[in-house]
Chains A and B, each alone.
Chain A
Amino acid sequence: MSEQEIERFTKDLASDEDLRSAAAEAVSDLPAIVAIAKANGYDFTLEELETFQSRQSAEMSDEDLEKVSAGAFVDRIP
């Protein structure tokens, strides 16, 4: 249930500008993120979020990677 809640929260961040703005400002402050989520009706704990964060994110397919940068080199990091 909690994982679904975190995924729901993550999905809504993409479409809800106010929620995204509040969460982006909290950045890596996970307790603050949990508080923002709770205030907006999402139900997960700090411990559950930490477990979620520690999981490996999915491998990107070659297609995905090529979409992002087409195998580019970035010679100068601005």
Chain B
Amino acid sequence: MVANDRQMASRSRHDALRGSPRSQIAHVKRFYERFVSDPKFRSALSDASPAGPSEHAREITRQYGIEIDPWAIAPLWSAGLKTSFETAELEGFPALKRWKDYSGLQLDALRSRREFDHADWASSCFAQWRQRQINRVESELGTAGGIANRFPVIAMELSDGCSVGCWFCGVSASRYAGSFPYTQHNAGMWRQVLATVVEQIGKPAREGFCYWASDPLDNPDYERFASDYLDIVGALPPITTAVPLRDVSRTRDLLAWRKRAGSGHDRFSILTVKILDRVHKEFTAEELIDVECVPQTRGSLLVKTQTGKLYGHENTAGSQPGSHATDKPRTIACVAGFLVNMVKGEVRLVSPCRARDEWPDGYIVHRQGRFETAEDFSHVIRSMIDQVMDVSLIPRSVVRLRADLRMEMLPQGVQLRSPGTLHKLGRSRDVAMLAHELARGPQRHQDIMASVMKAGANCFAVSRTIQDLFERGLLSDHPDDINGVGSFA
């Protein structure tokens, strides 16, 4: 099915007649959510328009409460789902263009919140460590590898486990085992913990949030904790919830509060088509214009990430009818910083990675610690920053390339290839000598330097290249290696 002149004329009339641009964007979004999530809707549209545009397709769309002429956005769906367009493809489809522009602005806004000024950080070591992790993740996965990621620096869980139990959970959430109640004691501790977060991390903590392998709405006192976060850290944390319908008025109030606080981008996980039906019934399209409804239904066109509960299930798409798992190496983890669980009194320093046997949930745990008091918490955070976030290698550091990198020494120079990225190191004599040393296996930094000095290389250039590899996240970042106690196996 493709648009023709008659459709385009109809579209133009339709666009002129229907609601405001904002409302139009909201209904295109709603159409998209329905199309991606609901195989029956897709099938009905296809059956209704077997040979081209039809009034039936409009009628079906209307029956779902979607106030947009499907032919006004035909490139989005008429030849199968398509969401990337050349400019010319959007000519004559102003509603679709508006939605794409709006979505692009939202994405740009999110990406812009990934960067912080130097002065925003309380710890330059943390800033450099995070940047090194970002470099590594983008090298492992490629910049287009599912990483439209802000790399937030902290996630603070207010529950232990998750009450929902999604079969595909990308971070393997455990069964819900209780929440952190807002008692007088806990509130005091929470506020001190937040003060520590601001003191030791700085303004980037504003991009934090209060869930991880948990649902924020599992904690009945979530709003009181979030209010403290706003008060002390300076931002109202976003929510991602799989239970937006558990208490609709609560959800609505939270969304309204977030909007008043000038925040955007909350998410609903849509687990079934029935849940989508109810979400679309309970909330208007305009209410949810800035809420991403993530289509996690079994018949969804969304490609599921094979991490967490789906890790290692290569045949998942077959065993779960309609699901679309992917074999691409990805992660849904985003935090490059601290995961804090207030119920368990646990802190983990983590960063995203390509899911693998060692890290099936798609994130590395660099360090973990426990706390019982706010003072403990402060000590644990401080010691992790001091012990793990080195900004350069020391003489006894064990230098080894990341295990996923394949080194190629070619006439055009030395290059490192990961599943997601190709790194060209150049073809200088010094780079080639360093490559030769790296290919021999893990060695102490000072031993590599002695070898290249003996070979008559420009040892200063080699030294700079090693530091460059380290900062680009291409060397092993294991603290034992950096601190010089790593093995040579």
| Cβ-defined contact, B393 with A27, below 8 A | yes
Cβ of A40 within 8 Å of any chain B Cβ, yes or no, is no
Cα of A23 to Cα of B447 in the assembled complex, Å: 11
Report how many A-B pairs have Cβ atoms within 8 Å. 117
Enumerate chain B residues within 8 angstroms of A1, measured Cβ to Cβ: none
| Cβ-defined contact, B395 with A26, below 8 A | yes
Q: Given A14-B456, A20-B450, A28-B392, is A73 in contact with B405 using a C-beta cutoff of 8 Å?
A: no
| Cβ-defined contact, A28 with B409, below 8 A | no
Out of A11, A20, A53, A77, which one reaches B460, CB within 8 Å? A53
- Near A by CB (< 8 A), chain B positions 407-435 give 407-411, 413, 427-433, 435
Out of B406, B432, B449, B464, which one reaches A23, CB within 8 Å? B449
Enumerate chain A residues within 8 angstroms of B53, measured Cβ to Cβ: none
Write the nearest CB–CB distance from B49 to chain A, whole angstroms: 52
Cβ of B279 within 8 Å of any chain A Cβ, yes or no, is no
Sort chain A's interface into a size bin. 35 or more
| Cβ-defined contact, A57 with B406, below 8 A | no
| Cβ-defined contact, A69 with B449, below 8 A | no
Out of B393, B427, B429, B450, which one reaches A24, CB within 8 Å? B450
Name which of B413, B456, B460 has the most chain A CB atoms within 10 A of its CB.
Answer: B460
| Cβ-defined contact, A57 with B436, below 8 A | no
Enumerate chain A residues within 8 angstroms of B2, measured Cβ to Cβ: none
Cβ of B442 within 8 Å of any chain A Cβ, yes or no, is yes
Sort chain B's interface into a size bin. 35 or more
Interface of chain A, helix or strand or loop or mixed?
Answer: helix
| Cβ-defined contact, B453 with A28, below 8 A | no
Cβ of B174 within 8 Å of any chain A Cβ, yes or no, is no
Out of A25, A49, A65, which one reaches B395, CB within 8 Å? A25
Enumerate chain A residues within 8 angstroms of B402, measured Cβ to Cβ: 77
Enumerate chain B residues within 8 angstroms of A54, measured Cβ to Cβ: 464
| Cβ-defined contact, A68 with B458, below 8 A | no
| Cβ-defined contact, B401 with A60, below 8 A | no
| Cβ-defined contact, B428 with A25, below 8 A | no
Name which of A26, A52, A56, A65 has the most chain B CB atoms within 10 A of its CB.
Answer: A65
Cβ of A58 within 8 Å of any chain B Cβ, yes or no, is yes
Write the nearest CB–CB distance from B373 to chain A, whole angstroms: 39
Q: Given A64-B429, A69-B439, is A52 in contact with B409 using a C-beta cutoff of 8 Å?
A: no
Question: Hey, which bits of chain B sit against chain A, CB under 8 A?
Answer: 392-395, 400-403, 405-411, 413, 427-433, 435-436, 438-442, 445-447, 449-450, 453-456, 458-461, 463-464, 466-467
Add 10 more A-B contacts to A57-B461, A71-B409 (CB < 8 A).
A20-B450, A24-B453, A26-B395, A27-B394, A27-B463, A28-B392, A54-B464, A69-B432, A74-B407, A77-B402
Question: Hey, which bits of chain A sit against chain B, CB under 8 A?
Answer: 10-11, 13-14, 20-21, 23-28, 30, 49, 52-60, 62, 64-66, 68-69, 71-75, 77-78
28 A-B contact pairs sorted by A residue (CB < 8 Å): A10-B456, A10-B459, A11-B456, A20-B453, A23-B449, A24-B395, A26-B395, A27-B393, A27-B394, A28-B463, A52-B460, A53-B464, A58-B428, A59-B427, A60-B427, A60-B432, A65-B411, A65-B413, A68-B432, A68-B436, A69-B409, A69-B432, A69-B435, A71-B411, A72-B439, A74-B406, A77-B439, A77-B441
